[in-house]
Every structure is written in C-alpha cells, then in structure tokens.
Chain A
Amino acid sequence: MLKISIDKLSALYDAIAANNELILPVRKAGVVDYASYEEGADVAIDTLKTAKSPKNAFFPQFETLYNVNKKIIPTDASAEEGACEGAGVALRSTLSVEMAPLVDKDFVIFGIKPCDVKGIEVLDNVFLAEPVDNFYKARRDHGILVTMACNEPEESCFCSAFGIDAADPSKAKADVAVWMADGNLYWKAISPKGEALTESVKSVFEDSDEAAVEATKASIEGILAKLPNANLSLDMWGKGVLDDRFYSPVWDEIFKPCLACGTCTFVCPTCQCYDIKDYTTKDGIQRYRCWDSCMYSDFTMMAHGNNRNSQKERFRQRFMHKLSYYPDKNDGMFSCVGCGRCVDKCPQSLNIVKVIKAFEASKAKEGQA
C-alpha cells in the first residue's frame, strides 16, 4: 500500500495527468461533477456524491457516431439514370459513411465511488454484450478507474442493499482503490491496469502499512450500518418476478406526482437508454446519439401509436427495468446501485426507494388482510 499526504494531492494529479487525461470531481458554478483536470479546475475530491454519475466518461450524453457525407462527383456514365443532364459534365450525387474516431488515449477517473463502479458494471452488461458497442468498448479499454472509499456516507445512500462495500473499494471491479484517512490518501492497485498506472506515478508516493485504512474501513462500516436504508429489502425483486410486479395495483397511485422529467435518468449511473438523431451539416449529416429517458412521453411514440402511452406505464417501465427485466437478463443483477442520486434530485421526492418501500408496504397490508 502507498500513501500521499492530502496536501500534496495536486502532485499526484499532475503525475497522472502527465500521461493520461484525468477526470475527477470538479466544482463548477456551485455544482460538483466529474470533469477534466485542467488549469483552474476547482477539484472537490471530498465530495461524496457528484450531481451526475461518472457514466458520462464511458457513455457520454452526446457523441457523434458517424458522418454521412454527400458528394457530387463526375460520372462517366452520363446516360445513367439519375445523372444530371445538360450541365456539361455529367455529375452524380454519392454518399459515403465515415465513422467517428474511437477513443484511443488512456484516461483516469479519479475518486469514483464503489457504487458508481458497480454502475459501470451494469452498463458493461448492456454495451459489451453482443453485438459489442465499440464506442463504449474503446472507452472502457482506455479508462482506468481509481475508486475511493466513502468516508461519510449519507442518508440517501443504500448501496449496501446491492452488496456494495463503500468501505472497501478494493472489492470493486476497478483498477486502483484509494482511501482518505488521517490526512493521507492511501493507494492500492487492484488490477494489472492499476498496477501499470501505479508504476507511472509511483514517485509521488511513499510506502505505508494498512493500519489507518483498516481503522477508516471500520468507521465507515459503523456508519453504513446506521444508514436509514441500509437494510432496504429487495426480496420482492430480482429474477422471475415480472408477472407479479407488473400487474400490481401499487403502480396505479404512486406514479401520480411524477413530472415525466428525466432527472432520475440523467443522474443515474445505470440508466443507458439513448436516442440516435441526425444533425444536418454543410455537406451531409452527423449522426449522433444522446441520452434519452424512458420517462419521456415520446420515448416509444411511433407514427401509429405509443405502446407505453400513459405516465404510469412509463414510470413502471423504468422501475421494472431496474428491478426485474434487467435482473432477468443478467442473472439477478439489479440495474440500481443505491447511489441515491435520484433520492436527492427528484423534484417531487419520488424515487426508487419509495417504490421499493411502497411494494413492501402493500405486501405487509395484504399479509394483514
């Protein structure tokens, strides 16, 4: 295990940034989100929860997939149909497709919390499943995750319900685990990628034992146990519960305050719905993909109708997807990591915890009856 004094963290950042793009929590106009480490960046490394999840680094809110270019070229076959007549040289219009470049430089996400690491695992199951999404894969291949223990978890956190250990990031599927304890940052590589990164920045560290880390782990565990939703029951959810939950009357009332905005979706580390759209450019189009939300009324709208026409259906879709459909497809793994961002951010204070609790309550009521 290595350590560096928290006062000297900028030396570590500089060392990492020397060879990689460094992405870490940065405060901008009062809000902390993951952003590039660049001059003047107001790094807020002790932020427990960034407003948005770091999924942007792998699955950006907007990315160009390819360009379709329209070119007008001379053609020798002037008699060919579709060629321009009478304009001297025979011309014809052609299309060519140019795929956007894939990410080919390493980057480091520093300070990512264990729940968000799990969130990336959730995305992996979607984007790396056949057929592989190469845009995502390139970023995954080049992304190095430095995950940090959550020293002071808050009441909106419920990651432990999903088996995530906020005290011990070394259990996460990341590359380096770090802790902040007694004025130092402790560093431990947990993957070959992590070891390579460690090697390149080793000079800024000194060796250390694990005593301080162990103490911090114990303290965090103590707090985690006291969190109000530490023991949130997921018994009613997972594989094979589709029919029972889908038709539940709980949905009939609970969705009502939902604004149909995309706040929960866009701050969520696991939501991965996207839209593909065209932008007309000078000589063709740019086809891009951008985040979309299943909560939006036009998400499934077609020319002749909408298969999820009411907000109830759309609301149900989001939670059924996270707690039932996704587990069905991924061996019981939930598409929620308990980061609690939706708990903090929902304009109407409606969130996945309330949904889970509402189902529990309705089951308890049925039990009584």
Chain B
Amino acid sequence: MSNVIDTLVPKVGVITGITDETPDVKTFKVNAPEGGKLFEHMPGQCAMVCVPGVSEGMFSITSSPTNKEFQEFSIKKCGSLTDTLHSLQVGDMITVRGPYGNNFPVDTVFKGKNLLFIAGGIGLAPLRSVINYCIDNRDDYGRIDILYGSRSADDLVKLKEIQEVWMNVPNVNVYLTIDREQEGWDGHVGFVPAYLEEIGFSTDCIGIVCGPPIMIKFVLQGLKKLGFTDDQIYSTLELRMKCAIGKCGRCNIGNKFVCKDGPVFRFDQINELPPEY
C-alpha cells in the first residue's frame, strides 16, 4: 500500500452526534475516529461525504472553522445518499474528503463590512458557517442582518441556535419568516423576497444569498430594486460533482468549475457564465 495520500482518497469519519433539525433535515457531527476534526476548512467550503456502497455527495460544511472540536453537516433528505445518511446512528462510520472549493472572502472583502445574509430552507447550511465565523470574530465585521425563511416553522433549520445565540449577539438582527400562517407562530409570514422588500435594507452592506434557485432569482431582483449591485452580492452554487477537484469534467459552467473555482461566486461573475446551472 502506498503512503501517498491522494485528494480523491477519503478519511474515515465517525458520526458523533445527530440533531433532528426539521422533519427532513438532520445535522451530523463528524469527528476523526481518534477524536478531533478531520481537517481544517474556511467558511463556504464543502466536503465530499460518502456512505460506502451508496454514493458520495458534495455537502457544505455548516459548522464554523472557529469550532475546534468537530465539523457539522446539515443534510436534507432528497435522494438515496441522503436517505441513507438519515438512517445512520451515532457511532456509525462514513468517509469524508475535503475541504474543497473556494470560500467566502471573510478575511478580505468582508472584513469591516456590514453583512446581509439571506437564506431559504436548507440554504442556511452554507451560510451558517460564515455567520458563526463572523459572530466568533465579532469585532472584525460591522452590522450583521440575517433574513431567513422557510416553508413552515418546523422547517427552519437551527432554530434553537438562531434564537438562543444569534439573536443575543450585539448588532446582529435576525428576521425570520415562514411561507404560510401556522398556529403558534407569531413571527412574520410571507416569502423571503417579499419580506426583503418590506424591510428594505440599505445598500451599505454585502449581500450573501443562498436558497432554492427560484428564491435566489427573486431575492436578486429585490436586492437590485433596493439598489444593490451584482458585485456586492455573493452566493454559492451546486451542480453534480464526482471528483470535487476540477478534473472529472462534470460541474463546469463555461470555463469555471463549481467545485474548484466555486462554489462561492459573486453575482457579476455568475452573470458572465453561460446559463448552464
């Protein structure tokens, strides 16, 4: 056996914790078998998580790099791999390789800026890494606004953390909304883009958007209405991936590979790409 470690060859990870977030989203805590984290990463980066024999898929690392104990993945049930992941228990082993892709420019462009996070549904997963990173380095950033919506109150991922941690951090404003009226919900009701325009954020910040394609489309229109320009809005993309290192030829959009050149793109960059995403 070779001593060379190839980036295609994964490490074994142990599931050390499972949290039911919503009826179809679970957050998995992953450690190396000997304890500690499998690897270091930056906010926005992804990893290939695999149940051997089922398949491998790219998931954004939802925990912040500032978490020194473990990594977390919030995973929505939507196919054979995620179905299997959802049936796993604490103590089960999976394989993980990564981190892959670029990251949100938290140490450069974002530094000292006001940040506006807009997420829908499971779209909070990649943003949570950034949000917690910014919260843990609170002094490096200006005002933080978080607008997060989902189908229902039960579908809001990480609600406990949002309410108990984020809402209590100084100069962090959280706006929650759900699509339809629901008993026991006294918060805002309505779609994210509509709520966005209702609140009417000022353009003195960087927008970071993640959610279903249709939400992104309307949020973008909304932001533009508010005066945002493409080069101050970031998002992350997702396409079918196999290698995660820009070689298997699958996830390119024009001359960019989402796995390697992305997944984080600024909207003016996305606009230059052919519409194959």
Please determine whether B276 and A81 come into contact, CB atoms closer than 8 angstroms.
no
With A100-B2, A320-B254 known, 6 other A-B pairs at CB within 8 A are A94-B12, A133-B8, A272-B247, A276-B8, A285-B52, A292-B250
Please determine whether B78 and A304 come into contact, CB atoms closer than 8 angstroms.
yes
Chain B neighbourhood of A97, CB < 8 A? 9-12, 95
Closest CB in chain A relative to B147 CB, distance in Å? 24
Please determine whether B274 and A246 come into contact, CB atoms closer than 8 angstroms.
yes
Specify which of A81, A289, A299 is in contact with B89 (CB 8 Å cutoff). A81
Query: How many Å lie between the Cα of A325 and that of B261 in the bound state?
Result: 13
Is A234 at the interface (CB under 8 A from chain B)?
Answer: no
Query: How many Å lie between the Cα of A328 and that of B56 in the bound state?
Result: 30
Is A131 at the interface (CB under 8 A from chain B)?
Answer: yes
Where the two chains meet, the residues of A that have a C-beta atom closer than 8 Å to any C-beta of B are 65-66, 68, 70, 80-83, 92-102, 126-127, 129, 131, 133-135, 138, 242, 246, 272-276, 278, 280, 284-285, 287, 289, 292, 294, 299-304, 307-308, 313, 317, 320-321, 324-326, 328-329
With contact pairs A66-B9, A307-B276 given, residues A98 and B91 touching in the complex (Cβ less than 8 Å): no
Closest CB in chain A relative to B139 CB, distance in Å? 34
Specify which of B52, B91, B250 is in contact with A284 (CB 8 Å cutoff). B52
Please determine whether A308 and B276 come into contact, CB atoms closer than 8 angstroms.
yes
21 contacts between A and B (CB under 8 A): A80-B91, A81-B91, A82-B89, A82-B91, A94-B93, A99-B1, A101-B2, A102-B2, A126-B246, A131-B245, A134-B4, A242-B255, A272-B247, A274-B242, A289-B8, A292-B248, A299-B240, A300-B250, A303-B79, A325-B254, A325-B255
With contact pairs A93-B93, A99-B1 given, residues A133 and B248 touching in the complex (Cβ less than 8 Å): no
Chain A neighbourhood of B5, CB < 8 A? 99
Closest CB in chain B relative to A16 CB, distance in Å? 26
Closest CB in chain A relative to B1 CB, distance in Å? 6
Query: How many Å lie between the Cα of A68 and that of B53 in the bound state?
Result: 9
Chain B neighbourhood of A70, CB < 8 A? 52
Using CB atoms, name the residue of chain A closest to B90. Answer: A81
Query: Which A-B residue pairs are the 5 nearest by beta carbons?
Result: A82-B91, A273-B249, A325-B255, A303-B79, A328-B255
Where the two chains meet, the residues of B that have a C-beta atom closer than 8 Å to any C-beta of A are 1-2, 4-12, 33, 52-56, 78-79, 89-95, 239-240, 242-243, 245-255, 274, 276-277
Specify which of A93, A102, A321 is in contact with B249 (CB 8 Å cutoff). A321
Query: How many Å lie between the Cα of A294 and that of B53 in the bound state?
Result: 24
Please determine whether B242 and A276 come into contact, CB atoms closer than 8 angstroms.
yes
Specify which of A94, A99, A275, A321 is in contact with B252 (CB 8 Å cutoff). A321
Closest CB in chain A relative to B30 CB, distance in Å? 13
Closest CB in chain B relative to A127 CB, distance in Å? 6
With contact pairs A80-B91, A303-B78, A303-B79 given, residues A274 and B6 touching in the complex (Cβ less than 8 Å): no
Chain B neighbourhood of A320, CB < 8 A? 254
Closest CB in chain B relative to A72 CB, distance in Å? 12
Chain A neighbourhood of B89, CB < 8 A? 81-82
Query: How many Å lie between the Cα of A284 and that of B52 in the bound state?
Result: 7
Using CB atoms, name the residue of chain B closest to A278. Answer: B53
Specify which of B91, B95, B247, B248 is in contact with A92 (CB 8 Å cutoff). B91
With contact pairs A242-B254, A300-B250, A325-B254 given, residues A68 and B90 touching in the complex (Cβ less than 8 Å): no
Closest CB in chain A relative to B248 CB, distance in Å? 5
With contact pairs A68-B95, A242-B254 given, residues A126 and B247 touching in the complex (Cβ less than 8 Å): yes
Chain B neighbourhood of A324, CB < 8 A? 255
Chain A neighbourhood of B7, CB < 8 A? 131, 133
Please determine whether B95 and A292 come into contact, CB atoms closer than 8 angstroms.
no
Chain A neighbourhood of B94, CB < 8 A? 95
With contact pairs A81-B90, A82-B92, A285-B53 given, residues A301 and B1 touching in the complex (Cβ less than 8 Å): no
